[in-house]
Amino acid sequence: MKSREDEYRELFMAEALEAYDDMSRHLSELERAPDDKSVLNELFRLMHNLKSSARSMGHTAIGEVAHHLESLFGQVRASERQFTGSLVRVIFNGLDILGAMIRAVGANAEMPDSSGLLNLLDRAIAGEEVEVAVESETEEESGRKLELSDLVYIQVKKLDKLLNLVGELVIDRDRILTLAEELDSPALRATARHLFRISDDLQYSVMDARLVGVGTLLNRFPRVVRDVATSEGKEVELTMNGQDTQIDRNVLQVIADALLHLVRNAVSHGLETPAERVAAGKNPTGQLSLVALTEREDVLIQVSDDGKGIDTEVVRKKAIERGLTTAGVAANLDDQAVWSFLFEPGFSTASQVTDISGRGVGLDVVKRALDSLGGQLRVDSEPGKGTTFTLVLPTSIAVKGALLVELDGRAYAVALMHTDTVLSLQPAQFSVVGGLFVTHVQGRAVPVVPLAQLLLEEGDEPLPLASKDSLHGLQNVLIVNYNNRRLGLLVDKFVRQQNIVVKPLSKPLDHIDLFGGVTLLGSGQMCLVLDVPALTRLFLARRP
């Protein structure tokens, strides 16, 4: 975590360097117009601030030089002397050395010796006519470089544009690769391969330029936790880990509010009061941890508390009350499936004040933020032990890993983030339960539905009842996962796995929420990107 000292140090450096640049400019102005009072005032003020800041940072040597120069400016301002002749050279020389001293602080280098300068300035202040030693001037002259910072600040907007252009480039590249194969020209193929390598590298570099440490967001939280804990009368110890984990800046921006929500919830609802904790045989101080880590292509951010955990039965009951499920179905759901209701819109709206489970206040908002990124929200809880929310985020937003499947001769893409597994099953491995195909994946029953029924048959009526007579030969099942809920989709063929650049759908198709966007394949073929959250919702609404 960035400490307060680090923060002060950064602020000091930024302000000192800026002041130095401004003063250099003003000094040149003053040389041309030695009587300009406003420039003198500005120089005096900047030098004065630098002196104060340097002293409070403990950089006494810088403070001393600044103090002397300030005194000289004071004398000029009070018209006790003129800013001409040797005084100009003395002050320019002093400012140069001051700049070198500031840079030494930034570089953690040894501070240049300023005793000679201080002596010179002392004599100048006393009214002596002094001259900068000639050798020091030539030395300064030869050693002078126009130093620019190694860092460039750039607007996110410009990076967004770069990323979009790279996206277009990648699509054309895939097209050229396909053409090279079709035309069977060795020269074109070699060039295409080279283009592939370069554009891959370029894409990686642009994505890399957009990465920031998760710490830039996490570092806001000690203060938030402190404030919420104080107002709720809780004792909370916050631990953070993985601040250096890299993630796209825009992803971080999108989840900032969601994370704030989860952290506030954890403190005010997840963790108990000190008295309750003592009564439960726990340490009065609650533990809250914020951890970021990279897992394969994704970044995980976990918010864990050691509080009272989620009361599954209360959630089950509320889900029935809210009409999100029926009592019969709810009775057979496992804990994970019950907790998924927490993320349903409308789960908590009526109960924000008397929220018994302590969870669910606006969790659908968190869920929506993650959906918009193609991310996932997972929850895990143990009564009396605590709750962990896990945000699964893509490292980058533009390019997604996707699985291409084929249906009726058309290709569709499904984000890998939402795919669990692919299976090829014999008809015997399906059973029919309540009019739905069901198969078993890792010991859990998963409903399976022909993708064609969801995509191609319009209307709100329930899906037709499943019949095993319709299954002939090996069936290709894509298991998708959304909100802890698995769903099997029957497709004609699995094509391949590929990185795709998702473009939003243009009008009038943009209202079809089953499609998250469109991508162009190397063959030039258009490919719709399936929106797994929307498909899951459609399935739930139309299940027989």
Instruction: Identify whether the C-beta of residue 541 lies closer than 8 Å to the C-beta of residue 445.
Output: no
- Return the C-alpha torsion angle 239, 243, 245, 251, nearest 10: 100
Instruction: Identify whether the C-beta of residue 91 lies closer than 8 Å to the C-beta of residue 82.
Output: no
Question: Cβ of residue 20: shortest distance to another protein, in angstroms?
Answer: 14
Question: Cβ of residue 222: shortest distance to another protein, in angstroms?
Answer: 12
| Range 207-210, long-range pairs (CB < 8 A, 24+ positions) | 207/163, 207/248, 207/395, 207/396, 207/398, 207/399, 209/159, 209/162, 210/156, 210/159, 210/163, 210/248, 210/249, 210/250, 210/396
Question: Cβ of residue 12: shortest distance to another protein, in angstroms?
Answer: 5
Comparison of 56 and 467: residue with beta carbon closer to another protein: 56
For residue 373, give the nearest of 255, 293, 452 by alpha carbon.
Answer: 255
Comparison of 44 and 430: residue with beta carbon closer to another protein: 44
Comparison of 10 and 208: residue with beta carbon closer to another protein: 10
Comparison of 31 and 227: residue with beta carbon closer to another protein: 227
Instruction: Identify whether the C-beta of residue 375 lies closer than 8 Å to the C-beta of residue 394.
Output: yes
Comparison of 11 and 133: residue with beta carbon closer to another protein: 11
Comparison of 56 and 283: residue with beta carbon closer to another protein: 56
**Coil, strand or helix at 309:** coil
Comparison of 42 and 96: residue with beta carbon closer to another protein: 42
Question: Cβ of residue 19: shortest distance to another protein, in angstroms?
Answer: 9
Task: Report helix, strand and coil shares of the chain as percent, to nearest 5.
Answer: 50, 20, 30
DSSP code for 343: G
Whole-angstrom distance, CA of residue 492 vs CA of residue 275:
60
Provide the CA 68 distance to its chain's centre, in angstroms.
46
DSSP code for 514: T
Comparison of 51 and 277: residue with beta carbon closer to another protein: 51
Question: Cβ of residue 53: shortest distance to another protein, in angstroms?
Answer: 5
Whole-angstrom distance, CA of residue 309 vs CA of residue 269:
9
For residue 69, give the nearest of 7, 29, 23 by alpha carbon.
Answer: 23
Comparison of 11 and 331: residue with beta carbon closer to another protein: 11
3-state secondary structure string, 231-280?
A: HHCCCEEEEEECCCCEEEHHHHHHHHHHHHHHHHHHHHHHCCCHHHHHHC
Question: Cβ of residue 26: shortest distance to another protein, in angstroms?
Answer: 12
**Coil, strand or helix at 23:** helix
Comparison of 24 and 241: residue with beta carbon closer to another protein: 24
Comparison of 74 and 427: residue with beta carbon closer to another protein: 74
Question: Cβ of residue 100: shortest distance to another protein, in angstroms?
Answer: 20
Question: Cβ of residue 249: shortest distance to another protein, in angstroms?
Answer: 23
Question: Cβ of residue 269: shortest distance to another protein, in angstroms?
Answer: 26
Binding site for another protein (CB under 8 A): 4, 7-8, 11-12, 15, 42, 44-45, 48-49, 51-53, 55-56, 67
* The residue type at 82: Q
**Coil, strand or helix at 397:** coil
Question: Cβ of residue 158: shortest distance to another protein, in angstroms?
Answer: 25
Comparison of 42 and 272: residue with beta carbon closer to another protein: 42
Comparison of 78 and 183: residue with beta carbon closer to another protein: 78
Q: Token digits for 369?
A: 């933020």
Question: Cβ of residue 71: shortest distance to another protein, in angstroms?
Answer: 8
Burial class (CB in 10 A: 0-12, 13-18, 19+), 146: exposed
Question: Cβ of residue 33: shortest distance to another protein, in angstroms?
Answer: 19
Q: Token digits for 498?
A: 């590929």
Instruction: Identify whether the C-beta of residue 313 lies closer than 8 Å to the C-beta of residue 294.
Output: no
- What lies within 8 Å, CB to CB, of 506 at 6+ separation is none
Whole-angstrom distance, CA of residue 453 vs CA of residue 539:
10
Question: Cβ of residue 121: shortest distance to another protein, in angstroms?
Answer: 15
